[in-house]
């Protein structure tokens, strides 16, 4: 498998301050794990800067302007109680958009089979007109609309296994039947959305996990609800909001997944993608705040992407 790995020093420039869980050390830990010899065949990519035109595929210009105007010249500025801006946030956020859009180009033109984008800031909480939950622009939602606009794809599936519900992605596609959004997430938990009754036009699938659930419940719910929906939808492209904060050691949640669970779900996604869209998968980093657990979980996720199922 030709797996592209997107990373860039600009992602480290988004400085969130001492003690903030969404910190640059997250990417440093991932980079160290993926430097192991077993990742020698990973094709490392330096992403271009994204553009305002790409961001406007999801967010109005007023949202972009509000973010850019709030970026401080020095130090940190709290956009809300969780979401921090620093002088380097613009470069990081635009580079993240550039990474996911370039991944779409590479995967849909056959230069890559799949891709993992180690980006920050994350994106899935960013609603079209509201930054929140550490997120400024919704990277994975932008990638979906970029693929629809530039490659005329009829059906795109986004699956989100971050422990927090991707309210921003849901809001972006709530009434769009050509995009399936499926999420597993701890409930009740931030941001409070993601009830099973939130179904859009039949294209939204919310699968809450209860506090303390382990890989047993996680796998059962995927096998009975999310995976059949993906198979039935038959997407032309599968996008993953890859948050690893459902790990048992993560400080921000109470789900008890281990690395094998992330490997299993990645394998299942690959099998479905192989059957309906030539294996085309693009995964973008969302959460994951225990550095050791994050690095180990990303490593098994990427290693699985590098090896065709079967």
Q: Which positions are catalytic?
A: 125
CA distance 4 to 246: 25
CA distance 154 to 174: 16
CA distance 271 to 55: 31
Please name the residues in contact with 152: beta carbons below 8 A apart, sequence gap of 6 or more: none
7 phi-psi bin (left φ>0, alpha ψ -120 to 50, beta other): beta
Take residue 159 and report the two structure tokens written for it.
């699956």
CA distance 2 to 205: 30
CA distance 152 to 139: 19
H/E segment holding residue 183: strand 179-186
Take residue 109 and report the two structure tokens written for it.
């033109």
With beta carbons less than 8 A apart as the criterion, state whether 126 and 136 touch: yes
CA distance 206 to 183: 5
CA atoms within 13 A on the CB side of 61: 1
* 205 DSSP β-pair partners: 182
């Amino acid at each position: 498998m030709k797996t592209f790995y997107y990373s860039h020093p600009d992602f480290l420039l988004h400085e969130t301050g001492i003690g903030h869980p969404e910190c640059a050390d997250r990417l440093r830990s991932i980079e160290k794990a993926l430097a192991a010899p077993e990742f020698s065949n990973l094709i490392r990519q330096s992403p271009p800067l994204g553009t305002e035109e790409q961001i406007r595929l999801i967010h109005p210009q007023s949202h972009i302007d509000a973010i850019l105007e709030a970026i401080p010249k020095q130090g940190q500025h709290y956009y809300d109680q969780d979401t921090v801006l620093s002088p380097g946030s613009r470069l990081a956020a635009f580079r993240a958009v550039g990474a996911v859009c370039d991944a779409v180009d590479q995967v849909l033109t056959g230069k890559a089979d799949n891709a993992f984008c180690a980006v920050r800031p994350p994106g899935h909480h960013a609603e079209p007109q509201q930054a929140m939950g550490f997120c400024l622009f919704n990277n994975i939602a932008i990638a979906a609309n970029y693929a629809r606009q530039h490659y005329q794809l009829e059906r795109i599936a986004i699956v989100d296994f971050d422990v927090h519900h991707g309210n921003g992605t849901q809001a972006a596609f709530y009434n769009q039947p050509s995009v399936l959004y499926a999420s597993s997430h701890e409930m009740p938990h931030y941001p409070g959305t993601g009830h099973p009754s939130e179904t859009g036009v039949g294209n939204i699938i919310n699968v809450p996990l209860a506090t303390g659930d382990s890989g047993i419940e996680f796998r059962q719910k995927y096998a009975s609800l999310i995976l059949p929906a993906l198979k039935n939808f038959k997407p032309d492209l599968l996008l993953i909001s890859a948050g690893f904060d459902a790990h048992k050691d993560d400080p921000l949640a109470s789900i008890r997944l281990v690395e094998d669970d992330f490997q299993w779900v990645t394998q299942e996604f690959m099998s479905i993608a192989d059957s309906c869209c030539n294996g085309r998968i693009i995964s973008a980093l969302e959460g994951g705040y225990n550095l050791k657990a994050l690095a180990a979980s990303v490593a098994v996720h990427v290693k699985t992407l590098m090896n065709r199922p079967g």
